[in-house]
Structure 1
Amino acid sequence: MVNGEGEWKTREIPMVCHLKSSDFRNREIIVSCNGFLCITPIQGCGPVCLLNPITRERMMLPKSQLTLSPTLLIPGYCVGFGFDLLSNKYKVVRVYYENHQAYSDGEVRGFSEIITVGETTWRKLDSPEEFRKTRLLYGSYSNPVFLDGTLYWLTNNYSWLCSGKKVDILALDMDSEKFWSIEDCPSPRQFRNRRSLIIVDGSLAIIDYHSYYDYNPDSLCSMEIWLLKGSKTMGFSFNSTTYDMSGLLHPQNKWEDFFVIAKLDHDTFLLRMDLLEKNEYSIVLYSPERKQYSSVHESSNKIFQHCWMMPTLRSLKAAIDK
């Protein structure tokens, strides 16, 4: 760990999708499902590639039929990748936000489309009225989480105040392709921001903590995890656990922010630690209980900046064709 207790070795795996660098402009969104990756540019209706980085199999999805002006698209473009448990098919969802000057009310417009992998065309999703008129998603810092046949996004609930609803999480059932929402989640406590969704112990979890560059880095850093228990039909309950993250503030590392990628066991988190000034990051394992960390990987390539993936030797082609 931090005092040389143990050693980690990493190996880089090429992420070749036969995509032009101009398509991505060095910024990608990567989401995973069942060991497969979905890779796409961070904005626009650009190419989408599915990849198994272990077997090196890859597949390009058909082009989108949406006609949106690249100059009017704003940050917030988001991609979801999940599995329909009823049809046994993979599906990809894309959400766009357009700031169109022709809209007299000045509002941002949201568009969403979906494709069943193996089909030739994308389909427009029937989105809620509030979603079509309001930018909901935090953007690339919170790509949707897939769990038990459903995609979940964090929302910017301030945009819902005018309608009287406090929608915290937007969900999409992969089988019916219908949106629904989780409302009135507990608000972040003082000095914490709502940062992301992850899967913890097989349940959806909301992660709240402050970022180092927003606050005094010498102050105590704590993180709170809200575990969601329940269902769409029965409702949800929220149980919180607070973790002391101050052990990360070691004078020699000078990290400025962190992002929770996954919780691996009862007291081990996989984190991405950012050194913003040099545009570098480190992947570390951290134990809040022992206040110990071990560096797993250091790089200036943020291709896995928010993505947690369990590797698989399954054939991508066989999974798509079944």
Structure 2
Amino acid sequence: MRLDFNYFTKLIPQDMYSRTKSHVCKYLAIFEPEEYVTGEVLRADDYHFLLFFSEGPETRINNHAYKPRRGSLLVIQPWEEVFGVPDDNKKSYDKYIHIAVEKSFFLKVAKEAAGGSEYEFIRIHNAYSKQLLDLIGSFQREMMDHGESFPLMLEGICIQIVFQLLRDLSSDTSENRSRLSKDNKYINKAIQFMQEYYSTNISINDICKLIYLSPCHFKRVFKEQTGQTPYQYLMRVRLEKAKEILREKDYSIEEAARLCGFVNSGHFSTVFKRNTGMSPSEYRKLDF
């Protein structure tokens, strides 16, 4: 594990970094820049999370565009290409918080959050919570008052911050939904539809008719908000439901496939093994 984030601070223009409030330990760093880096492609190791206090510039991650709003939380994974689009009108934006989490530390905490499995982001764009802001404040106070004199205390706070980041990004609570739903009610409606009718032969066209959006526009906006295509999200819902059924051990593989909306047991087995690394039969033999 590295002992600092010097590699990252070198990516930021020095005059900008000199005006940036920062608190850095070996597990994570919290920066409060006064402006955004735009017009440059940046790549960095580790996991990076951006918390927006107001509207931010359009941000492209691996050429996929995101338009942050007040309350938005956005994650950038290791070595993804990030590009802040310059504003032609030279619009000024308010401060934001940038959290950098050391990669091996993040993966260790995330694996526990995933119950021992490899963690996979359900969303890369959601809303941050008051709990996360409180934990950030605790980290900053600890660093200002004691530095790294109490490593167990500091590590504990950092672990809580990572857990809260993961919870905020995966949260579907009414509080988080309301903060992003003003412009994305149709996405929430689509998600609700998939969660209710995953067992039927629903299609993208069925969903688009329900929310009155063109398939092309729907796919683009859905991926912007969830980090997945509609098809990937629907498959994820079906697989999670299938795991529940397999754990009960009261249904055959064929019945589990039918109850979860798969074309047939062969298709179900192929998708299941591709996503879990084991067949449905192997999964149901596990000791839950």
**Structure 1 or 2: more helix by fraction:** 2
**Structure 1 or 2: more strand by fraction:** 1
- TM normalised by structure 1 equals 0.26
